[in-house]
Amino acid sequence: MPRVKRYDRRALVLGSSASALECGTLGAPGIEPLYAKDADEAVLLAGEHGDEIAALVVPGTLSLEELDLMLERLTPRLEIGRGAVLVVAPPRLRPHLAGLRERGVCWAVWEPFDADELHFAVTATLASEDALEPRRGLRVPIRLPVEVRFEGAERAGEIVNLALGGAYVCLPDPPEQDASVVVRFPIGERLLETQARVAHRRTEGGSGPGMGLAFCGLAASDERLLDGFVRERVDSFRL
């Protein structure tokens, strides 16, 4: 089966999932959604853009029978398998979840979810044919308190996404780009402390001021700890 080019990938978003996502959540870098109000429109869009579509986002309100009919109509027009289907807010009934797994559906985002979690779930689904792994560039949404030490002073911030190689920290008036800082934050029952470099900073817009950090010289034990934490977070979006 031909693969969708990495930089041409789009998500086809169906029905009530569209109303949940139209607030601009998926307009962030890396995702260009196509919205379909119903199955007929989804089939038309799949016919026009099938070679670009790498993920199908469907509402959890679809019954298994409705999902079967949807996939039966869409599959001939798409170059992806059922492993690239994301279900938004499915019911947590065991028979329903078992039915999704039997159909090869791998991804779900559960209520309550925020914009960052939804964006990550769609990004992960888009990348599912790349044997998605928690590599350095994969940032998972999370909320963790963090202490930032810079020029002899400590300030409290919040990590909103985390990867093996770095994190994004919400912090008023962040240090300048390329500044060196020390960060300390909890991972499970442990407190991880490491040096980091400010890769970029933001003073307004988005979720507010903050900075993207690149970790420097992580100890092997800390890297293993982060690796396990990120993998666990990725798995929380899998069925």
> Which tokens in the block code for residue 164?
């093996």
- Ranking 19-23, 97-101, 118-122, 188-192 by mean pLDDT, the lowest is 19-23
What digits encode the pLDDT tens for the residues 43-100?
999 999 988 898 999 999 999 999 999 999 998 899 888 999 999 999 999 999 999 9
pLDDT, position 44? 95
Cβ atoms of residues 171 and 144 within 8 Å: no
Domain 140-235: CATH superfamily is: predicted glycosyltransferase like domains (2.40.10.220)
pLDDT, position 130? 55
Residue 145 pairs in a beta bridge with 158
> Which tokens in the block code for residue 74?
């869409």
Task: State the SS3 of the chain.
Answer: CCCCCHHHCEEEEECHHHHHHCCCHHHCCCCCCEEECCHHHHHHHHHHHCCCEEEEEEECCCCHHHHHHHHHHHHHHCCCCHHHEEEECCCCCHHHHHHHHHCCCCEEECCCCCHHHHHHHHHHHHCHHHCCCCCCCCCEEEEEEEEEEECCEEEEEEEEEECCCEEEEECCCCCCCCCEEEEEEEECCEEEEEEEEEEEEECCCCCCCEEEEEEECCCHHHHHHHHHHHHHHHHCCEC
> Which tokens in the block code for residue 100?
């999704």
Domain 6-130 sits in CATH at: 3.40.50.2300
pLDDT, position 16? 62
Average pLDDT over all residues of the chain: 85
The residue extents of the domains of the chain are: 6-130, 140-235
pLDDT, position 208? 72
What digits encode the pLDDT tens for the residues 25-38?
554 455 778 999 89
pLDDT, position 87? 95
- Ranking 22-26, 113-117, 203-207 by mean pLDDT, the lowest is 22-26
Question: pLDDT tier at 118 (50, 70, 90 boundaries)?
Answer: confident
pLDDT, position 8? 59
Question: pLDDT tier at 137 (50, 70, 90 boundaries)?
Answer: low
Tell me the backbone φ, ψ of residue 212, rounded to 5 degrees. -90, 130
Cα dist from 46 to 13, 30, 52, whole Å? 11, 19, 9
What digits encode the pLDDT tens for the residues 228-237?
998 898 889 9
Helix (H) or strand (E) holding 142: strand 140-150
How far apart are the C-alpha atoms of 116 and 155, rounded to whole Å?
A: 24
Cβ atoms of residues 122 and 86 within 8 Å: yes
Beta strand segments in 171-209, E: 180-187, 190-202
User: Could you give the angle at which helices 94-102 and 64-74 cross, rounded to 10 degrees?
Assistant: 20
| Radius of gyration, CA atoms only, the chain | 20
What digits encode the pLDDT tens for the residues 165-181?
999 999 999 999 999 99
Q: What percent of the chain has pLDDT over 90?
A: 58
How far apart are the C-alpha atoms of 209 and 201, rounded to whole Å?
A: 8
pTM for the model stands at: 0.77
